Amino acid sequence: MERPATDTSDHRARQLLAILADPAAPEGDKDDAAMDLEFFPRTLVEPSLVRIIREEGYSSVLAQVCAESLAGIWAREDRIDPEFFGELTGPARDEVIGILSARAPHLIPFDA
């Protein structure tokens, strides 16, 4: 019996999230995993991306890549998390604004 596409997608997303959670994973592998998460369902990956951005202090390369993926998800789904958007600072905020400016400028709050 063939599995539905969402099962495969969920499995791949979990694999990518496991790479991000692995302290021994090389930085490049983590960056690649974070980039790939943009293409998975918001409900599956958004909480993890938000957590990592916070843990990384909004400024590391990994936080920036996670912010880029998060913004890509927001643009694709035509919605943002206004509470977390307001929390963003530094390079992570710059990444989100850059992606949204290019793909969904109407999502950027007027006071951003």
> Domain limits of the chain?
26-107
DSSP helix/strand/coil, 26: coil
Token couple for 88: 């963003």
pLDDT tens, residue by residue, 50-102:
999 999 999 999 999 999 999 999 999 999 999 999 999 999 999 999 999 99
pLDDT at 24: 97
- DSSP state string for 51-101: HHHHHTTTTSHHHHHHHHHHHHHHHHHT---HHHHHH--HHHHHHHHHHHH
Q: pTM (2 decimals)?
A: 0.91
Token couple for 35: 């980039």
